[in-house]
């Protein structure tokens, strides 16, 4: 399943800030509210200072949802565990370029060979140029606009300004990739995110703490979509970001 750039902005509901005691219900709630994907933040307590859940949890809840599962592996050895997340039912798997660059190509190939979308993520301080060696294997670039590890952090607008349009411009000639942004995704940041040409916004606390999740999904999507439609194409160079 090679990812194609969506015509509008998609919303991926991150379960990190959901009620994990009722995870199946929380996934259904996001799906019923109009979220396009379920975003799964997998953390190992080593690559990032937090521990969440693994493939067995994903496998258990996969059957309750009909929308795609989007895994974000914040772990030290993503290549070692990629097959487990494929088997658990993840439709796309993104991991960090900083985690294990020596084995990144092999992991991306295996994810794609399994018919899933493969992506790489960069922390706020990592330049996009770190992705250049893997360009031919990328379906997704995930730009972090917070330091990975915990939900509910403040959005880094300077990172969004520096990286999103640059990533989108670099991918435009390919026409088969998408830019995701993770961290601080909410209505108040949707305009900045949309102007950068973002395709997928990961939103967690903004959705799960909203009085009306469906209204919040639509509000974020609408603001970002309008900004994206009005934005100019980004630069095709990664060197400065």
Closest CA to 14 of 220, 205, 212, 157: 205
State the burial class of residue 217 (Cβ atoms within 10 Å of its Cβ: 0-12, 13-18, 19+).
Answer: buried
Beta bridge partners of 11: 201
Q: What is the DSSP letter of 168?
A: H
Given 41, 44, 100, 199, the catalytic residue: 41
Q: What is the C-alpha separation between 123 and 146, in angstroms, rounded?
A: 8
Closest CA to 47 of 161, 116, 126, 155: 126
- What is the mean pLDDT, run by run of 10 residues, along the chain of 241 residues? 70 95 97 98 93 96 96 95 97 95 93 97 94 93 88 84 88 75 94 94 96 98 94 53 57
Q: What is the C-alpha separation between 56 and 73, in angstroms, rounded?
A: 14
Q: What is the C-alpha separation between 176 and 178, in angstroms, rounded?
A: 7
Q: What is the pLDDT of residue 85?
A: 98
Q: What is the pLDDT of residue 234?
A: 44
Q: What is the pLDDT of residue 11?
A: 98
Q: What is the pLDDT of residue 2?
A: 45
Q: What is the pLDDT of residue 52?
A: 94
Q: What is the pLDDT of residue 240?
A: 45
The kind and range of the H/E element at 26 are helix 23-32
Q: What is the pLDDT of residue 8?
A: 86
- Told to judge if 83 belongs to the known catalytic residues of this protein, a careful annotator would answer no
- Told to judge if 19 belongs to the known catalytic residues of this protein, a careful annotator would answer no
Tell me the Cα Rg of the chain: 16
Q: What is the pLDDT of residue 3?
A: 43
Whether pTM > 0.95 for this model: the answer is no
Given 36, 91, 182, 199, the catalytic residue: 182
Q: What is the pLDDT of residue 1?
A: 43
Q: Which two tokens stand for residue 100?
A: 């294990």
């Amino acid at each position: 399943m090679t990812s194609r750039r969506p015509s509008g902005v998609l919303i991926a509901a991150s379960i990190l800030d959901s009620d994990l005691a009722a995870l199946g219900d929380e996934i259904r709630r996001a799906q019923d509210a109009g979220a396009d994907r379920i975003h799964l933040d997998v953390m190992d307590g080593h690559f990032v200072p937090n521990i969440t859940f693994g493939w067995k949890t994903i496998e258990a809840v996969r059957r309750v949802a009909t929308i795609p599962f989007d895994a974000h592996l914040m772990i030290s050895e993503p290549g070692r565990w990629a097959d487990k997340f494929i088997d658990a039912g993840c439709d796309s798997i993104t991991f960090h370029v900083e985690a294990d660059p020596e084995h990144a190509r092999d992991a991306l190939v295996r994810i794609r060979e399994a018919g899933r979308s493969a992506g790489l993520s960069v922390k706020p301080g990592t330049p996009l140029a770190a992705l250049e060696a893997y360009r031919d294997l990328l379906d997704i670039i995930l730009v972090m606009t917070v330091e990975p590890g915990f939900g509910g952090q403040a959005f880094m607008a300077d990172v969004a300004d520096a990286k999103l349009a640059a990533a989108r411009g670099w991918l435009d000639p390919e026409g088969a990739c998408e830019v995701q942004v993770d961290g601080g995704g909410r209505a108040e940041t949707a305009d900045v995110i949309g102007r950068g040409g973002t395709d997928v916004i990961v939103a967690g606390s903004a959705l799960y703490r909203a009085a009306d999740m469906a209204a919040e999904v639509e509000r974020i999507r609408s603001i970002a979509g309008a900004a994206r439609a009005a934005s100019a194409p980004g630069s095709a160079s990664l060197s400065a970001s």
